Chains A and B, each alone.
Chain A
């Protein structure tokens, strides 16, 4: 296990190096730097001004030289300064101020999705081809086909504009920043939007892996021992169905961030997603770079984590 971990972490470091280089390369690939966009809309800014700005930021140096200097700074904990969203502020500080909000949103929606997907997936597997199974299946397809941004708009229109039950956006009402209830009320709609897509896909997954297990011999053995049906399903069937599900959840984490970008934009929820979107629209490359590298790290780390968890819950799998 130790050897496996060390090898995987070493691989992870190499992969991160590649990915960070790739991200850096991509963001600097397009001829015409980030300041060229200043030129349209303002005829007084000439190509010469743009070159001066680029010299100031060291953008006139060769690409590999810039990359290694950036990498060196990052390893020392300096991710550079923002160019557009909050000019002059350290990137890391901006991200830190948003991280908690996004973590809360993504965490809540993860818990909610799992809490809904598992019971309905199991239920529709036990009652395969029943009316409820068809309803759940149809519902899952609805969830998977629903464009998140549209669902968000519809929920805002119904619950915030028409019924006025819930706030239309934001993290909290100004002046009520420490009010838990107020924060929860702001969390309801974004969480619903972010969860629905997951619930659709995951309940389908749980259903099919439960169906596979329900036909197996050891369930008959468990029933023959006189276990209650509940114990058979929960302790014997579900536990085995959940093993591959761990990987599925691990692999959706990065996708969840994609959903967070859209959700936070619709609900003006001040987190990493909307920060990333604003950074892109403002061509704030240091900020975009930092978020992308952190995201890549999250992806790779969650892959490793799900592999490790896999070996913990399934003793048949050994990692050598």
Chain B
């Protein structure tokens, strides 16, 4: 602080006496900008609420998850069943809560795994360059060219057939299959972002200084390059959480995702579609849950993009 005024004065700043307010930290600035976004804080509240309610499903849900009640099929909203019952008399609210668990679990797990793979590929390719870079990034580009949904469908089907043949495909394994497939086709965006950011960062002086100080490639990547590439990764991850919820729901809807009896918002819609002439309300709730959660993630992602942008105006 004592030596600073000289340099600061050259830039035209007033000398700040020691009583000046503490400089605002980077994260505090971002938080300030995030809060000012119109809908992102609301989105964050929605997500937190969904996570809590879905996480507490075993304790707060009024019925057992798969409890069948053939005497009250297609019940409308009643005090006993707030959102009614489905074609087997199962309580819709209960299943929505458990389905939320699965959807959020699948989406969060596969997003985290995608980030790990993407960061590894992008950082290694960007830092070591040469043949490694050529192979990794050409492969990334190739994967990016391929249309995702058609491939997701084929892969899910093949994996499920294979596992069914080993007589092991149950509800739990179907969750693993979908996490695996979503990860396999979901790491490329992060890889591209990290690669681009590492490419520009590795030429900077602080990296040169770290190399001169004898730091290993691994520690330069982990300590210097990645922390400086965090912002785009965080934004991509937030938007990825939403898109993975839609992808999981779409696969489950098409019968290639989460297998019954485990409920997911997607496979609840499949059930509802079969009975939509008789009871159209069943199709409303699961889709509304997907829509609201994805919308919340998109708002948060949009706000984070503005908030984490160091070039954005600080006002």
Binds A, one of B53-61, B153-161, B192-200, B216-224: B153-161
Give which listed residue, A40, A157, A255, A280, contacts B157 with CB less than 8 A: A280
- Residue in B256, B269, B291 whose beta carbon sits within 8 Å of that of A146 in the complex: B291
Query: Is the Cβ of B299 less than 8 Å from the Cβ of A154?
Result: no
Task: Encode A108-152 as 1/0 by CB contact (under 8 A) with B.
Answer: 000000000000000000000000001000100110111111110
Known contacts A147-B290, A161-B277, A258 near B147 by CB under 8 Å: yes
Contact call B145/A300, Cβ cutoff below 8 A = yes
Known: A141-B299, A145-B291, A261-B150. A296 touches B161 (CB 8 A): no
In the bound complex, residues from chain B placing their C-beta under 8 Å from that of A147 are: 246, 249-250, 287, 290-291, 294
Please give, as numbers and ranges, the residues of chain B lying within 8 Å of A156 by CB-CB distance. 276
Q: Please determine whether A280 and B154 come into contact, CB atoms closer than 8 angstroms.
A: yes
Question: What is the distance, in angstroms, from A102's C-beta to the closest C-beta of chain B?
Answer: 13
Chain B: which residue is nearest A257 at the CB level? B147
| Known interface pairs A258-B148, A280-B153; A32-B254 also in contact (CB < 8 Å) | no
Contact at A299–B255, with CB atoms within 8 Å?
Answer: no
Q: Is the CB of A142 within 8 A of B295?
A: yes
Number of B interface residues in the complex (CB < 8 A): 46
Tell me whether A296 and B290 are in contact (CB under 8 A): no
How far apart are the CA atoms of A161 and B287 in the complex, in Å? 18
Q: What's the minimum C-beta distance from A124 to chain B, rounded to whole angstroms?
A: 15
**Taking the complex as formed, is B280 at the interface, i.e. its CB lies under 8 A from any CB of chain A?**
yes
Beta-carbon contact of B269 and A149 below 8 Å:
yes
User: Which residues 3-21 in A have Cβ within 8 Å of B in the complex?
Assistant: 15, 18-19
Report Cα–Cα, A162/B161, bound state, in Å: 39
Q: Judge whether A29 is part of the interface by a CB distance below 8 angstroms.
A: yes
Q: Give bound CA distance, A157 to B273, whole Å.
A: 10
Contact A157/B276 with A147-B250, A280-B154 known, Cβ cut-off 8 Å: yes
Q: A258-B149, A262-B254 are in contact. Are A283 and B161 (CB under 8 A)?
A: yes
Tell whether B284 is near chain A: CB-to-CB under 8 Å.
Answer: yes
Interface residues of A in 270-295 (CB under 8 A from B): 276-277, 280-281, 283, 288, 291-292, 295
A30 vs B157: C-alpha distance in the bound complex, in angstroms? 11
Asked if A37 and B283 make an inter-chain contact with CB atoms under 8 angstroms apart, the answer reads no
Given A157-B283, A280-B157, A150 contacting B162 (CB threshold 8 A): no
Closest Cβ of chain A: how far from B262's Cβ, in Å?
19
Q: In whole angstroms, what is the CA distance A258 to B272 when docked? A: 22
Interface majority SS on B: helix, strand, loop or mixed? helix
Q: Residues 113-157 of chain B: 1 if any A CB is under 8 Å from the residue's CB, otherwise 0?
A: 000000000000000000000000000001001111111011101
User: Does any Cβ of B come within 8 Å of A254's Cβ?
Assistant: yes
Q: Are A154 and B284 in contact (CB under 8 A)?
A: yes
Instruction: Determine if B298 is an interface residue (Cβ-Cβ < 8 Å).
Output: yes
A195 neighbours in B (Cβ, 8 Å)? none
> Which residues in A have their C-beta under 8 angstroms from that of B256?
280
Contacts of B284 in A (CB 8 A): 154
The DSSP consensus for interface residues of chain A is: helix
Q: Which residue of B lies closest to A28 (CB)?
A: B158
Q: Does B164 contact A (CB under 8 A)?
A: yes
Within 8 A of A (CB), among B30-49: 38-39
A269 to B142, CA, bound (A): 31
In the complex, A66 has a CB within 8 A of chain B: no
Contact B291 A32 (CB under 8 A): no
The answer to whether the Cβ of B253 comes within 8 Å of any Cβ in the partner chain is yes
B165: Cβ under 8 A from any A Cβ: yes
Assuming the contacts A150-B269, A254-B147, asked whether A30 and B161 have C-beta atoms less than 8 A apart, the reply is yes
The answer to whether the Cβ of B84 comes within 8 Å of any Cβ in the partner chain is no
A residues near B158, Cβ cutoff 8 Å: 26-27, 29-30
- Among A39, A254, A258, the one with the most B-chain Cβ atoms within 10 Å of its Cβ is A258
Please determine whether A40 and B145 come into contact, CB atoms closer than 8 angstroms: no
On whether the beta carbons of A150 and B154 are closer than 8 Å, the reply is: no
- Give A225 to B110 CA distance when docked, in angstroms: 56
Which of B157, B255, B280, B294 is in CB contact (< 8 Å) with A283?
B157
CB of A299 within 8 A of CB of B147, answer yes
* Chain B residues, Cβ within 8 Å of A39: 165
Please give the distance in Å from B282's CB to the nearest CB on chain A.
10
In the assembled complex, 29 residue pairs joining A and B whose CB atoms fall closer than 8 Å, in A order, are A30-B158, A32-B161, A32-B165, A36-B161, A37-B164, A39-B165, A40-B164, A142-B295, A145-B242, A145-B294, A146-B291, A147-B246, A147-B290, A150-B283, A153-B269, A153-B273, A153-B287, A255-B147, A255-B149, A258-B147, A261-B149, A261-B150, A262-B254, A276-B150, A277-B153, A283-B161, A292-B150, A292-B154, A296-B145
Shortest Cβ-Cβ A-B pairs, 5 listed? A150-B287, A258-B149, A254-B147, A145-B295, A145-B294
